[in-house]
Amino acid sequence: MLIAIDESGSFVRSTSTGSWCVVAGYTFTERRKTANLAALQNLKRKYGRSVKQEVKLKDLAEPDYFEFLENLCAAGGALFAVGTDGALADPDAVARHRDIQAENIRKTYRK
């Protein structure tokens, strides 16, 4: 199983609504790797990007974006995403979550 993960946003409290922070993960099997990479490479080629360069959503025409998603679907994988508006975050809840996650990392690292 292969997993591609990407994030967008600053993941900090914001005073402006619409300050979206998003994490997405796309998973596919090793058997489907060639088809999935071809979908991404075709999109990059269409926009003049090399294999190692990123393509930003803001640079894509909407029909091309949907075509890319359809190509990924045909290639066989699963997309998971979560987003939050930084202006709606409770600062105390964010700090608690951060502290809990940091402690979980420390516990795992010590093993």
Residue 45 CA to residue 71 CA, distance in Å, equals 14
In this prediction, residues 77-90 reach a mean pLDDT of 90
Q: Is pLDDT above 80 for 19?
A: yes
Please say if the pLDDT value at position 89 is more than 90. Answer: no
DSSP state of 20: E
**Is residue 110 over pLDDT 80?**
no
The domain spans of the chain are 2-110
What is residue 111's predicted lDDT score, i.e. its pLDDT?
Answer: 63
Compute the distance between CA of residue 86 and CA of residue 17 in angstroms, rounded to an integer. 7
For the cut 80, the answer to whether the pLDDT of residue 57 exceeds it is yes
Greatest Cα pair distance, the chain, in angstroms, is: 48
Question: What is the pLDDT at residue 44?
Answer: 98
